[in-house]
Structure 1
C-alpha cells in the first residue's frame, strides 16, 4: 500500500516513519509513503499557499492551486486517481470500520490542512472523502493523518506478524477488547483469573466474550445497541447489571 501525504510540514513525519511497527513495515516494503510539501506547487515566487477569506473574517484560507497542482502532478500517470482524503474536523467521524475500508485500497492521498481551513473548491472538486478523528480542533491535519495511517497500516497483512492481534482489538468486533494478562500469574496478591490458566480454550473464549461484553457495557454502552447478541448474552448482561445495582 502507498500513501501520498500532502503537508506544509513534512518534517513532522520523520519520527513517525522511523520507529516501531511502521518502520518495520516500510523496511519490508509492505508500505511505501511519499511526504510532499505542497508549497512546492505554489504559483508565485513567494511560494504562497494561503490568502485572506473573501467576505472578511479571521485567519487564512488554503488556496486551491497548490493542492490541485500537487495532486495532479503525483497522479498524472495513474490509470485511475486514488482516493483523496482530507483531514478535517468537519469530516465524518473516524471509526475502525472506516480504517478497514481504507485498508482495502492500494493507494491513498491524504491532505493535511493548516490555518483557517480549505478553499471550498478543494472540497467540492478534489476531495473524495473527509475524515475527522474527533470533535476538537488541531493546528493542522498532520496528527490526524498519522492516526489514520497507523490504524490502516496495522491492518495490512504481514505488518503485525500475528493477524489475530488486529482481529481481537477493541472496535474490530464492534466491542471493546477483553482484559489481557501475562506472566507472572500472581503479582502483589493480584492473580490472573483461573480460567486463563486452565487450558480449556472453549471456556477461555466464553470468558473473553463475556468480559468484552461487560467492559463495553461499562464504558461504551452505545456500542451494544449495534450488536446482534444472543438471548443468552442478553440475559447474562441483564444479570450483571442487576448485581451491580444491588451491590
Structure 2
C-alpha cells in the first residue's frame, strides 16, 4: 500500500509511523508512506496557506491552491494508483471498522489534514471521502489520519504476526470481542474459566461466541439492533438477559 499525507506538521507523524506495527510494515516494504508539507506547494511568496473567509467569521481558512497543487504533484507521480482521497473533517462520516476494512483493500490512499478554522469549500471537490473520528473537534486532521492509517494498515496481509488476529477483533464480527486470559490459570483468587483449559475446542468456541454476545449486550446494546441472530445466539441472548435480570 502507498500512502501520501498532505499536512502542515510532518513531524507529528514521525513517532507513530516509525514505531510498533506501522514501523515494522514500512521496514518490511508492505507500506510506503510519503509525508508532504503542503506549504511547499504554496505559490504565495510568503508560503502562506490560509486566509480570511469571505463574508467574515472567526478564524482562518486553508486556501485551495496549495492543496490542489499538492494533489496535482501526487497524481503526476502516481498517475494510475490513486483511488481514495480522504479529507479529515468533523462533518465527515463516522469512522468504523467496516470502513477501515474497505480502506485496507486499496493500493493507494491520500490523506488531507486540515488546520485552522476549516477549508475553502472548493477543496472538497478533490476528495472521495470525508471522514470524522466522532462528534468532537481536534486542532487538526493529523491525529485523525494517524488513527485511520493504523486501523487500515494493521489489516494488510502479513502486517500482524497472525493474520487471523484481526478477524476476531471487536467490531470485525459485529460483536465486541470475548474476554481473554493467559497464564497463570489462577491469579489473586481469580480463575480462568474451566472451559478454556478443557481442551474441548467446540465448547471453547461456543463459550467465546456467547461471551462476545454477553459483552456486546451489556456494553454496546446498540450494536445488536440490526443483528440477524442464529438459533443458538437467540437462546444465549435470552439466557444472558435472565442472568442479568434485564428481561
CA contact 2:4–2:109 (8 Å) conserved in 1 = yes
Q: Distance in 2 between matches of 1:103 and 1:34?
A: 17
In structure 1, the residue matched to 2:106 is: 105
Normalising to structure 2: TM-score of the pair? 0.97
Q: Distance in 2 between matches of 1:213 and 1:32?
A: 38
Q: Distance in 1 between matches of 2:237 and 2:53?
A: 54
Name the Cα RMSD after superposition. 1.3
Give the drift of 1:80: 5.2
Q: Distance in 1 between matches of 2:159 and 2:82?
A: 25
Q: How many equivalent pairs are there?
A: 246
In structure 2, the residue matched to 1:229 is: 229
Give the drift of 1:43: 1.1
In structure 2, the residue matched to 1:121 is: 122
Q: Distance in 2 between matches of 1:157 and 1:82?
A: 19
Q: Distance in 2 between matches of 1:32 and 1:166?
A: 21
Q: Distance in 2 between matches of 1:94 and 1:142?
A: 15
Equivalent position SS for 1:17: coil
CA pair 25-36 structure 1, distance change in 2 beyond 3 A: same
Equivalent position SS for 2:89: strand
> What do residues 8-34 of structure 1 show as CA deviations (whole Å, max 9, x unaligned)?
000000011111111111000111100
CA contact 2:4–2:110 (8 Å) conserved in 1 = yes
Matches within 5 A, 1:132-143: 132-143=132-143
Q: Kindly indicate whether residue 201 of structure 2 is the aligned counterpart of residue 201 of structure 1.
A: yes
In structure 2, the residue matched to 1:79 is: 80
Give the drift of 1:232: 2.8
Give the drift of 1:45: 1.1
Q: Which runs of 5+ in 1 are unaligned?
A: none
Equivalent position SS for 1:87: strand
Q: Distance in 1 between matches of 2:101 and 2:192?
A: 33
Normalising to structure 1: TM-score of the pair? 0.97
Q: Distance in 1 between matches of 2:232 and 2:182?
A: 29
> What do residues 186-231 of structure 1 show as CA deviations (whole Å, max 9, x unaligned)?
1001000000001111000000000000000001111112222113
Q: Distance in 2 between matches of 1:76 and 1:34?
A: 14
Q: Which runs of 5+ in 2 are unaligned?
A: none
